[in-house]
Amino acid sequence: MLQNILLLLALGAISGFAASADDWKGRSIYQLLTDRFANTNDSSASCNTEDRRYCGGSWQGVINHLDYIQGMGFDAVWISPIVKNLEGNGTYGEAYHGYWAQDINALNSHFGTEDDLKALSSALHARGMFLMVDVVVNHFGALGDNNTVNYADFSPFSTADDFHPPCLIDYTNQSSIEQCWIGDSNSDLPDLNTESQAVVDTMNTWIGQLVHNYSVDGLRVDTVKHVRQDFWPNFAEAAGVFTLGEVLSDNLTYTAAYTGLINAVLDYPTWFPLTAAFTSTNGSLSALKNAAAATQSNYKGGASTAGLFLENQDQPRFQSITKDQSLVQNAMAWPFVFDGIPILYYGQEQGYDGNGDPNNREALWFTAYQTQKPLVSHVTSLNAARKAAISSNKNFLTTAATFIDQQNSATLAISKPPLLALLTNSGNASTSTSWQIPASAKLFSQGEKLVNVLTCTAVTPSSDGSLAVQAQNGLPQIILPASALDKNGNLCKDLATGSSNAATSSVGFGSWVVLGGTLVLLYLQSLL
């Protein structure tokens, strides 16, 4: 009996643990471009983003710097596409970003070998971290215009019939968005014929194998709105792991429609008002609040698995818009304090400020991965605050955040118990910004000890349970009860009064499966 159970467990470990949306909810994702994050030998290789050429980053480079990523509190890494891309320097440079597939069953050798990618996957799992891989269904690669495409170069699709005929997208026509080619007349990307059942079957088989071959825990899916909607449910099922799709639109209704087809979407409908809100002291926080509240009611199952971000490889870095560090710190806090899975794009923590593509794809090795940096500290505190909230309230992740009305339109107070986030876009020159939390909000008990975990400062509510907080130079505050902080932990431990239950709750189910599977395998080996 015991042996049968152990055998089943061992088989489970061999066939792999498939992480679901639920398994991802409490995670925090570090997004990186493999070519730009770290090269194998940490050399000081030159990397001029304007050249759009390979700079030498690799999967082994990522392995070498997992301490840096995990040290900030991230427990998942999203890597750029892994498949073999077209080789050569085209109209828009080389395929260093990975979005120009040539052969989806082979790997991009610039980043390493199959063994290197498997080693990255194992190294992450050994730390209890998840691997998210970026995949593209919509298109293959191109180095020039449609006349330069040679279908025979591609694999496993190698005829014109496997692709839609070339046409440039009319963005007012959804069929055109799905069937025409993204790009421009100098370089447009061959659009896979996902109306063909043979193509669909091949893609579904492919994604299941890719997930299995590299023990992938989740997928970031590119250009989802460019493929017909009814393609996605079967693809997501074939993947068997969490699928987070890119639907680039500020239209909530349009984007939300995809949350019933794949697990979740990158939260672009909130990203637009988020950046606008903190771009200057004139931004509208009420527009952000309304957009965010709408995601809670329109995303299928709520916003708890949406991917929240401030930056990514397609958009100008936030510091190319404003250098005011108070606005930056407020904007950075958002993905960590609202419903959803926070995602941080590599380099943001080092203060990189490239404007759009290709300048927002800087090589990180120029920073020497320094950790004594204000925004590295900031993001470390944000991750730690969220983890403390998760540990102290088992319903944290499923409790929808609410806004506590403020008189001052330059402030937001977001309650997601036990976490209270106080944000403002009053800017670094402001001296008079404050937040008011009425006793009627019933967030605190009388005399409860509170801590602003971004500065490790005690915060004291009035005897009636109301709270008035004065901002310092327009900086955000994240308030947690001292009892939610671990006396032996690393977040404001001098003020903490709680004891850790983190040992059981911060190590995800996946780690236990990996650990359990390993022990069982050792046990079975001892029997043989």
Question: Contacts with ligand NAG in 450-509 (CB under 6 A)?
Answer: none
For the CB of residue 12, give the shortest distance to ligand NAG in the complex, in Å. 20
Nearer to ligand NAG, 70 or 428 (CB): 428
> Are 137 and 101 a contacting pair, CB within 8 Å?
no
For the CB of residue 201, give the shortest distance to ligand NAG in the complex, in Å. 15
CA 144 to chain centre: 31
Distance, in Å, from the CA atom of 269 to the CA atom of 220, rounded to the nearest integer, reads 17
Contact between 442 and ligand NAG (CB under 6 A)? no
Q: Is 75 a catalytic residue?
A: no
Nearer to ligand NAG, 243 or 391 (CB): 243
Distance, in Å, from the CA atom of 177 to the CA atom of 147, rounded to the nearest integer, reads 21
Q: Is 362 a catalytic residue?
A: no
Among 48, 282, 460, 518, binds ligand NAG (CB under 6 A): 282
Could you tell me which residues come within 8 angstroms of residue 76 by beta carbon, excluding any fewer than 6 positions away?
24, 27, 28, 29, 30, 129, 130, 131, 132, 217, 218
Distance, in Å, from the CA atom of 82 to the CA atom of 243, rounded to the nearest integer, reads 16
Binding mask 193-232 for ligand NAG (x = CB under 6 A): -------------x--xx--x-------------------
- Helices and strands (DSSP H and E) totals, the chain: 16, 20
Using the contact rule CB under 6 A, the part of the chain among 13-21, 131-139, 142-150, 331-339 near ligand NAG is 142-150
Q: Which residue type occupies 342?
A: P
Contact between 105 and ligand NAG (CB under 6 A)? yes
3-state helix, strand, coil in the chain (%, to 5): 40, 20, 45
Contact between 40 and ligand NAG (CB under 6 A)? yes
CA atoms within 13 A on the CB side of 150: 4
For the CB of residue 387, give the shortest distance to ligand NAG in the complex, in Å. 29
Contact between 406 and ligand NAG (CB under 6 A)? no
Q: Where are the alpha helices (DSSP H) in 351-453?
A: 374-392
For the CB of residue 251, give the shortest distance to ligand NAG in the complex, in Å. 4
Question: Contacts with ligand NAG in 286-345 (CB under 6 A)?
Answer: 322-325
Nearer to ligand NAG, 257 or 441 (CB): 257
Asked if the peptide bond before residue 418 counts as cis, ω within 30 degrees of 0, the response is yes
Q: Which residue type occupies 236?
A: A
For the CB of residue 463, give the shortest distance to ligand NAG in the complex, in Å. 35
Where does this chain bind ligand NAG (CB under 6 A)? 40-41, 89, 91, 105, 145-147, 166-168, 173, 175-176, 179-181, 185, 188, 206, 209-210, 213, 251, 253-254, 280-282, 322-325, 428
Which residues are catalytically annotated? 222, 246
